[in-house]
Amino acid sequence: MTQPTLLSVVGLLAQSGVAVLIAVVFGGLLRRYWRPYLRHWTYSWIGLAVHAGAGGIAILLSQWFPVTHPARFALALAAGIAGYLQIAWLVLGTGELTAGRALRPRTSRLLLAGLTLLGAALVVAYGWDASRSDLLFTLRVTVRRLAVALAFGVGGTLISRAPRIARGIGRRVVMASFLGLGVQQLLFVSLTITPSLRASFGPYVAALGLVDLVLYVGLALGLVIWLLEEERQATMDAAARIERIAYHDGLTGLPNRQLFINQLGMALHHARRNDTMCAVLFLDLDRFKIVNDSLGHAAGDVLLQTVAERIRSTVRGEDSVTRLGGDEFAVCATDVQSPDDAVQLAERIITAVKRPIVIDGQELFVTTSLGISLFPQDANVPEDLLKTADAAMYRAKAQGRDVVERYVPEADQGALDQLDLESNLQHAVELDQLMLFYQPIVQSSTGGITGIEAMLRWNHPTRGLLMPDEFISLAEATGAIVPMGLWVLRTACAQVQEWRDRGQDQLRAAVNLSVRQLQHPDLVGHVEQILAETRLPAASLELEITESIAMRSSGRAVDSLRALKARGVRVSIDDLGTGYSSLSALRLFPIDTLKIDRSFVRGVPENTDDSAIAAAVITLGNTLGVNVVAEGVERPEQLQFFIEQRCAEWQGYLLVRPVTAMECEKLLFDNSSDEPSTLPAAHSAAL
């Protein structure tokens, strides 16, 4: 065996061994990272191992067997096909890496099939005509080398356009290896097709296999480094996304509360060091819930995004803006020269926010209430500064909204009172602090009492008797309204049934439902259980919901009311006409009674507009075949108006204010007996 032949065999077998090791490495990376290009690269190194190993062994066998020998021909065929598949898989993997996605299966199949046929055809042609074997061998080797050079040229071009890690070391190493291998293949081709050069540089031609080995090892290392760099970059990108999610509001892109507190802490440190002031502005949109409920959450999201952008564009670049949650925003203004500067910034924000906003063709006008707290006058740490600004904002709400208020220490007492109220509210039911007052509902035609509306009061241990508007909204917010509502329903039903048992069998109990009760999934079951416990007939229970609650309710609430209506329970709409969707409420809900709000009753009969509205509601109710009740009747002339308009029932101070069960009982029964009383005196006077 000649020295060039020996060098060729050694180079090819070394290539095969190294290719196997590289294939094992890439196979491990494939199992760990599962990238499409890793699969093709693993196949590529396997193809190179087969090509080099089979080719080296075939060269050894050429010393003893002709080219047509089955063993030598099979090895040559395997080497030829594997050599072209190696090129295909290398190009496919590189294309997937630079494109960042898997290539279409059809493209891959066509390329692999075409190169497989080419490799097989060249080997078959080489073995078919033994007389021209040297020429065909040269042609076969030359064609493959040109194909390899072309593949590396294409791969190098793709890599040069890869955008993701432009300065990565792995990308540079791979580019250098691709260029080196391409030049190497062209040099080999030039030496192969030029007999004089091949004769003069025989050992060098044989040693080109070892040069290939070095370049392949460099290519493999470059690909591994590139992969690790890409994984590192992906990890950094994921960390950046996680950090953004953790510290920014997903809807507006503003810093969230935690990041704002951090920024505020740095601002306070800067203010202490430079002996300057820092201001925190706390904003809450006025009546945002109305927009959200009437136009939907998508419109509400657009509104919040618009407001966030307006606030951000109004403040200075060094100021921080955050969305604290819901419709609450805060601004940290640094290097404030005087309290007036903070007030002026607040007024600019209010002016920017109140500009009209068009959403889905609907022009909206939104205002904001804003509170200001200053460092170091009002607080010295970020949390306290935000807390005092919040207290100032609530003071602005109390002043009528769309105003700016600075923090004053008295505001803290209001916040403490609110916390105390919330704490006691959670135990009001179990400590038996709740009371029911009752107001009769009178039939206009006969003057008889046909219903009793239950009205909740809270006998607070230190504040005395509290009216609903002092604690109901807090009960709604904390969830305490659900057990409170069940207590009211059970107590009212039991009391009315007691009076029915004593002869007032025409009475019905009217009980208000809160929005949380209405949306509770067990509402129907709770009502059925209470009716069974108290023995009150379903037809003698009337559940009242306000128009605004009706329009804020979900489909589940409508289904619950319809289920209760099917069981005989009556449903009434209270405060009709005070909202925006009265007719929609009548269409959606199974209504038995309409209650005219006291705001329209108050002006009757003197105010022609109120009289017209009240008369229209009565006519609407009569047309729909539902009962109509006038609330808040206080004067005989008002009662006379509703009798003339054929309003079915009324209630109000003209008969009696809401009273205790004992006082209500005196209206229902004669003092000396349990027999039902006759026509109320107030009704007789009105007639």
Residue 606 main-chain phi, psi, to 5 deg? -65, -45
Distance CA 62, CA 449 (A): 119
Provide the CATH topology of domain 3-243.
Rhopdopsin 7-helix transmembrane proteins (1.20.1070)
Instruction: Kindly state the average pLDDT of the residues 305-313.
Output: 94
Instruction: Kindly state the average pLDDT of the residues 44-62.
Output: 82
DSSP state of 102: P
More confident residue, 455 or 78: 455
> Using 50, 70 and 90 to split pLDDT, how confident is the model at 342?
very high
Q: Tens digits of per-residue pLDDT, 542-558?
A: 999 876 666 555 567 78
Do the domains at 3-243 and 257-408 have one common CATH topology? no
> Using 50, 70 and 90 to split pLDDT, how confident is the model at 681?
very low
Q: Tens digits of per-residue pLDDT, 269-284?
A: 999 998 899 999 999 9
Q: Which residue from 659, 610, 652 is spatially nearest to 633, judged by alpha carbons?
A: 652
Distance CA 6, CA 60 (A): 9
Q: What is the DSSP string of 379-407?
A: -SSHHHHHHHHHHHHHHHHHTTSS-EEE-
Query: Helices 202-247 & 36-61, crossing angle to 10 degrees?
Result: 170
Residue 306 main-chain phi, psi, to 5 deg? -65, -45
Instruction: Kindly state the average pLDDT of the residues 561-570.
Output: 93
Distance CA 594, CA 604 (A): 18
pLDDT of 677 over the 60 cut: no
User: What pLDDT does 333 receive?
Assistant: 93
- Which residues on neighbouring strands pair with residue 441, listed in sequence order? 451
Q: Tens digits of per-residue pLDDT, 446-468?
A: 999 999 999 999 998 888 899 98
Distance CA 261, CA 320 (A): 10
Token code pair at residue 321: 């803006």
In sequence order, the 6+-apart residues with CB closer than 8 A to the CB of 35 are 96, 97, 227
Distance CA 343, CA 370 (A): 10
Q: Tens digits of per-residue pLDDT, 630-664?
A: 999 999 999 999 999 999 999 999 999 999 999 99
Instruction: Kindly state the average pLDDT of the residues 311-317.
Output: 92
Domain locations in the chain as residue ranges: 3-243, 257-408, 428-686
What residue has token string 């006691």?
424
User: What pLDDT does 245 receive?
Assistant: 73
Q: What percent of the chain has pLDDT over 90?
A: 32
Q: What percent of the chain has pLDDT over 70?
A: 83
pLDDT of 165 over the 80 cut: no
CB atoms within 10 A of CB 501: 11
Q: Which of 434-443, 522-531, 549-558 has the least mean pLDDT? A: 549-558
pLDDT of 687 over the 80 cut: no
pLDDT of 83 over the 90 cut: no
Token code pair at residue 289: 């819930």
User: What pLDDT does 504 receive?
Assistant: 94
Distance CA 359, CA 4 (A): 81
User: What pLDDT does 194 receive?
Assistant: 67
> Using 50, 70 and 90 to split pLDDT, how confident is the model at 685?
very low
Mention the CATH class of domain 428-686: alpha beta
pLDDT of 532 over the 90 cut: yes
> What is the biggest distance separating any 2 CA atoms in the chain, rounded to whole angstroms?
140
- Fill in the amino acid letter for 83: G
Distance CA 626, CA 648 (A): 9
User: What pLDDT does 659 receive?
Assistant: 95
Q: Which of 24-28, 198-202, 293-297 has the least mean pLDDT? A: 198-202
**Element housing 459 (H / E):** strand 449-460
> Using 50, 70 and 90 to split pLDDT, how confident is the model at 2?
low
DSSP state of 538: G
User: What pLDDT does 469 receive?
Assistant: 81
Token code pair at residue 13: 């077998």
CATH of domain 257-408: 3.30.70.270
User: What pLDDT does 637 receive?
Assistant: 95
Any idea what the Cα angle at residue 95 is, between residues 93 and 101, rounded to 5°? 90
